[in-house]
Amino acid sequence: MPSDITADCHCIIGHPQQARLLTVRQTQTWSLPTVRVPAMQYDYHAAAIARELYDRFRLNTRVLRLVYRQGRRIWLEMEHLPTRATPTASTAWMDRAELEHAFSGRPELAGPCLDWLDSRANPATPGELRPWQQPGWFEHAERWIERQLHRHKLVRRAPVVQYRAGWDRSCLLAVLTDAGWCYFKAASPRAPREAELVPALSALCPGVVDAPLAVEPDRNWMLSRDFLQDGELLREPDRLPECAAALARLQAAAMDDEDRWRALGCPRLGAAELVDYFAAPERLTGVLEQAGLALSGPERDALPLRCAHIVREAERLAEQRLTHSLVHTDFRNDNLVLKPSGPRIIDWSEAVVAEPHFALARILIDHENSCRQARPQAGVMRIPASLMERIRSAFDSALPSAVRPSDPQPVWEAVNALAQPWSIVLAARRLEAAAEQPSFESSQIPAQILARLRWMLARGAPDSAGAR
């Protein structure tokens, strides 16, 4: 989806004490407060959404969570905050019966609202929502941020604001200080524990991972200086070789400490785990069936053969007996910061332990997409074959000779064949982890798995694309 496409963001604002929703008067009907947001990154516009609601309706709100999404329409639950400002006369609080009447003939708008009112009558237990999706959480985080700023002798110049909000895996807040912006991250309470992992990596390889200002391990909270204060996100792929070399240096430093990374909640997901997963294709079809999805008949017929090929490639990689290390699972432009002193790698929230070459899986997938598509999808870097060769070479050269494969070609051939299957297992594990905290976002994971499976099946006969 192109980055300039917008979506209608319908704001579900519940009454603080009653089972009512806030509605706004339009010319001849009633609707929810609605703002326009970029369809691709609505979650980065939480502060702008709240500001527009205040400017238009004198509503003081914060984003809590994504409730529903359909095409270019988004429903967000908002927290309604006490304020001296009086909502404009064009607003009204409605109960269920009033909403059914006001939204009659518009089931696409009424459905998410009525479902939300039903959930209000049967509230979720605290464990079914992420901490930052619960009313009142922001104030606790704000007070902790204030204490850490004071401890570091930083002076707050503006209120703490939501920077990224509404999704499941984390929440980002921002605060302007006398030394520039600082960013707070509340990561998912499930493993790995990023608030412990990042300080450990920054101590191990300070030139690749920056140390946070403060952490709260029990709540998986971190406060950091602005990564971009003296750097910029990687936007052009030409500097990926330099970033790949930095990644390899960090992985080399982390190789002899697998027990430590496992203790911090980083699971194993290497060749051996891929063998176990794809040896039973029914696991994949079962995930899809539980979500009401299915492969076509020809796709189901092709799946066992393709899975058998994946198992053979994974066994071939396992035979290389590569030393395992900590692996970044989303090595791409948005997580790479270019600084004068060298690249920094951010967001270790889904790190795993595996053969180090799997860290380039995302880049290998983007490379193959570049070869297949005349125009890359939004968010996909165009990586030609010559650049891919430089990336692999830089990565190999930065590994210590003691752990570097004597012949890297079979390693890269296997990893290239396994990159998309590896991403499928990552998504499947994310779905398993969300089972105790189901949400609209987690309900979309099976569709992502289906799309990746179809991409994998459409790849055709085994080849050496992307390998040396």
Do residues 386 and 238 share a domain? yes
Is 466 within the bounds of a domain? no
Please determine, for residue 257, whether its predicted confidence score (pLDDT) is greater than 50. yes
Q: Provide the domain count of the chain.
A: 3
94-138 pLDDT per residue, tens = 999 999 999 998 888 899 999 999 887 776 555 578 899 999 999
Please give the residue range of the domain that contains residue 73: 6-123
Does the residue 239 lie in any domain?
yes
Single residue among 68, 97, 123 that ends a domain in this structure: 123
Whether 428 maps to a domain, the answer reads yes
E strand map for 100-169: 161-164
Pair 119, 169 in one domain: no
Does the pLDDT value for residue 64 go beyond 60?
Answer: yes
In a domain, 464, yes or no: no
* Cross-strand bridge partners of residue 352: 327
Task: Based on the fold, state whether residues 428 and 299 are members of the same structural domain.
Answer: yes
Rounded mean pLDDT of 314-328? 96
User: What CATH number did the domain enclosing 286 receive?
Assistant: 3.90.1200.10
Residue that terminates a domain, selected from 209, 225, 241: 225
Query: Has residue 1 been placed in a domain?
Result: no
Q: Going edge to edge, which strands form the sheet with 30-31?
A: 30-31, 21-25, 91-94
**In this structure, what token pair is assigned to residue 330?**
């989303």
Banded model confidence at residue 460, pLDDT cuts 50, 70, 90: low
- Note the Cα 361 to chain centre separation in Å: 16
pLDDT above 90: residue 86:
no
Same domain, 11 and 57: yes
Same domain, 117 and 145: no
How many Å apart are CA 227 and CA 221, to the nearest integer? 17
Same domain, 116 and 165: no
Query: Could you tell me the CATH number of the domain that includes residue 164?
Result: 3.30.200
- How sure is the predictor about 465, in pLDDT bands with cuts at 50, 70 and 90? very low
Tokens read off for 67 = 């409730």
Strands 91-94 and 21-25: antiparallel
Q: Are residue 236 and residue 294 in the same domain, yes or no?
A: yes
Inform me whether the pLDDT recorded for 17 exceeds 90: no
Structure tokens that stand for 402 in this block: 């003691």
Task: Point out the domain boundary residue: 123, 150, 185.
Answer: 123
Q: Which two tokens stand for residue 349?
A: 């929230």
Domain contains 467? no
Could you tell me if 180 and 77 lie in one domain?
no
Nearest to 448 by CA among 463, 426, 465, 468: 426
Same domain, 42 and 176: no
Residue 439: per-residue pLDDT: 84
| DSSP state string for 91-111 | EEEE-HHHHHHHTTT-HHHHH
pLDDT value at residue 248: 97
pLDDT (0 to 100) of residue 3: 57
pLDDT at 415 over 90: yes
For residues 328 and 340, what is the distance between their CA atoms, to the nearest angstrom?
22
Quote the percentage of the chain above a pLDDT of 90: 73
pLDDT at 464: 39
- Model pLDDT, residue 466: 43
For residue 85, is pLDDT > 70? no
Max CA pair span of the chain: 74
pLDDT of residue 440: 85
Q: Does residue 93 share a domain with residue 141? A: no
| CATH number reported for the structural domain that contains residue 50 in this entry | 3.90.79.10
Asked, for residue 257, whether it belongs to a domain, the answer is yes
Query: 187 pLDDT exceeds 80?
Result: yes
| Whether residue 314 sits in one domain with residue 381 | yes
Same domain, residue pair 202 and 340: no
Strand partners, 354: 325
Residue 463 maps to a domain: no
pLDDT range class, residue 1, cuts 50, 70, 90: very low
On whether the pTM is more than 0.75, the answer is yes
Confidence band for 468, pLDDT divided at 50, 70 and 90 = very low
